[in-house]
Structures are given as structure tokens and as C-alpha cells.
Amino acid sequence: MKFIIASSGKYHHFSLAKSLFKTNNLKKIFTGYPWFKVKKEKLPKEYVFCIGFFEIIIFIIKKISFNKAGFLYKKFIKLKKIVSDKIFLSRIKKIKNFDYFLCLSGDGLSSAKYIKSLNKTYICERSSSHILYQEKILNDEYKKLGFERKTNNWIIERELKEYELADLILVPSNFVKKTFEDYGLDNKVCVINFGANTDEFQKLNIKKNDDDEFNILFVGQLSIRKGLHYLTKSFKDFDHSKKKLHIVGSRTPETNLIEKFLYKENTIFYGNRPKNEICQIMNKVDVFVLPSLEEGMANVILEATACGLPIILTENSGGAELIEKLNNGFVVPIKNSQAILEKLNLLKNKDILKKLSNNSKKFVNFYNWDRYSNELKKNLQLRNL
């Protein structure tokens, strides 16, 4: 079983690729990241093909500021996906003796058509909800906040064609599966929960600065989709004399829109941080909150769990299965600051906090990438793909 993996970004695909490499199932991974960013993943270079120039340009645009270059950012994201796909295709045509092409949705339409012409198996991985569900929920939230949102018709059409071509649609949670079922695609959908890199994220022996403080953590892009404005409303209403909110994540074009909705008192903004620093921060706080309007299964949920944190997340975050399995936190409705506040108030009780934290520590042996790759291979065999 030989796999080609492709993505215009990086995401979790190197974790999967390394697991497949260990079992001699990896043929090649294509990435939109430059080699100097991915060589630390320690895959032999002959297994990796990088298209890094777009990512470098996008990094420069981010540095200029989204206020001045937001339009350019969106244009380059689109161009990156289309051009990367064409380059993937040209390279795939030179590869022999492979069985599966696994590509992130939106990144591989031309390549997928070629794969199907060879009678090979095309796996479309969708790490978020169905594109039409995602568009609707984001458009509704923009309207609620008083903003206008342009519909990305080009990516919608592209993804719908990929769903149609796919032999298997790989998704990370039952929430995502449900959104595909609503659009009549349940027979193609395979759910496999993501893994976490427990070498990078784990419980550390770090003493907190002040046991009386109550530290809340959010990690993710500062965007409407992540629901950060709902968390800061909950934090504002949270009655605790020593409360702090820690926000780790990069700005997006949407950050400028929601800035006025964010409560900033007693809040620390870190910006983007490397994984080792995020792990340190996770080991110094009391609870992790992810108020997303929609996700596939945010890796950060698993990373926070690996660090022994109690979790509060929305039913649309993709993490409900984890909470149900481990009893290490709470699942709340989307767009509901009051529900988040109620759970924060429960966690003032240090006995409850400690119990949920201890439950989080149990997950390490199951949520790993070797388990993920083994389940993927098993599902393909069961489906005779």
C-alpha cells in the first residue's frame, strides 16, 4: 500500500507521512512549505517535494499587515492552491508504483482527475465541515456581526468536484461526517480521529507562578470561525479576582473585523508561537477553551489534552468524541458565551479541575499518528479500495 500525500500547506500531513514511512507505505509527500521549514520533520529528502515560494510570499504579506495587504493575501492563497495542484500533477506523472493519492480538499482537483484516469484510489481529506455547511455558518455569523462576506465560489465549485471524484472522503470527526451526510455523501465518508504528537506535547513538571490565579488558554487563528469573540465575552463576565486569558495564534484578515468585540483586560496576546513554547504555556494554565463555530477536529484540542488540561469546546469543534471517551471536559453549544461561562464557574472548584485534568492524561496511548495510519489502511482494505 503506497501513498502519495499532497497539501498546499503543512498541517498534520507530515505526522501521517512519518508514520507511513515507518511501515514502508510512503511513496512521496508534496507540500506547499519550503524545505528549510520541513526538514526538521526528519523525513529523507527524496520522499519530500516542496513548493515553498508561495508560502514565503504569504509570510511577507502577513508581516506587511492585513490592513494594507489583505486583498493580496487572499489572491495568493487562491493562486497557491491552483499552481501547487498543477505542479503536483506534473510530478505525479513521473511516479510509478503507487496505490493511493491522499490530498487535502481544495488542493488537488487536476491531480485527482489524473489519478482517476489511472484507476488509482483518490482520497479527498476534508479537515473541516462540508464546504457548503461551512459557508453557511460563516455567512450567518458575518451577518450577525454586521459584516459583509464574499462567497468563495471558486473554492466551493472546486471542492464539490473533488467530493464527487473521491473514492473516499476522509474526515476527522463525527461532526464533520454529519455535515456530509446532510448533503447525501454518507457512503463515501470515513471518520478517523486525528492523533497528537506526544513527543512535542506532554505534561511537564512546571510549577505555576500563583496557585490562586485562574488561567484560561485559547490557541488558534484570531478569526470569526474560531469564535474567539464568544470566549472573550465569557471571560469578561467570569467573576474571579485573579483571572487571566492567554491567547496564542496568528492574526488573519478577520482579526481587524472582530477587534472591537474582543475584551482585552487581563488578556495576554502572544501572537504565533512555536510548538515548544505552546507546550510550556499549556503546562502553566488551568483550562483550555475552543469556542469554534466549525472545525474538523482541531489538533490543538489533542495537544492540550496531552498536556493534561481540562477542555471546554463547542459541539462543532470536532472534539466531542474525545470528551465523551475521556470525561476530561465539557461540550457546549456554538455561539453561546453563557454556556462557556457556566463551565468556567464549575472549574473554580479545584477538585473538579483536578479530576478532569487527571482524565486528560489517560489519552496518550490512543490518540497517536501510528493508530491513525493503521486505521486508514484498515478502512481502505475493508472497502476494497
Quick: pLDDT tens for 357-376: 988 877 666 678 999 999 99
Residues of the chain with pLDDT > 70, as a percent, come to: 96
Q: Which residues pair with 224 in a beta bridge?
A: none
Looking at every residue in the chain, the average pLDDT score rounds to 91
Predicted local confidence at residue 199, as pLDDT: 79
Predicted local confidence at residue 105, as pLDDT: 96
Question: What mean pLDDT is predicted for residues 279-299?
Answer: 94
pLDDT digits (tens, 9 = 90+) for 115-149: 999 999 999 999 999 999 999 999 999 999 998 88
Cα atoms in the Cβ-side hemisphere of radius 13 Å centred on 227 = 25
Predicted local confidence at residue 294, as pLDDT: 95
Question: What mean pLDDT is predicted for residues 219-246?
Answer: 95
Instruction: State the Cα–Cα distance between residues 341 and 272, nearest whole angstrom.
Output: 26
Does pLDDT of 67 surpass 60? no
Q: Which domains does the chain have, with CATH numbers?
A: 3-195+368-382 (3.40.50.2000), 214-365 (3.40.50.2000)
Instruction: State the Cα–Cα distance between residues 68 and 77, nearest whole angstrom.
Output: 16
pLDDT band at 20 (very low <50, low <70, confident <90, very high): very high
Range with lowest mean pLDDT among 140-144, 200-204, 340-344: 200-204
Does pLDDT of 68 surpass 60? no
Q: CA-based diameter of the chain, in Å?
A: 64
- In this structure, the dihedral spanned by the alpha carbons of residues 79, 80, 85 and 89, taken in order and rounded to 10 degrees, is 100
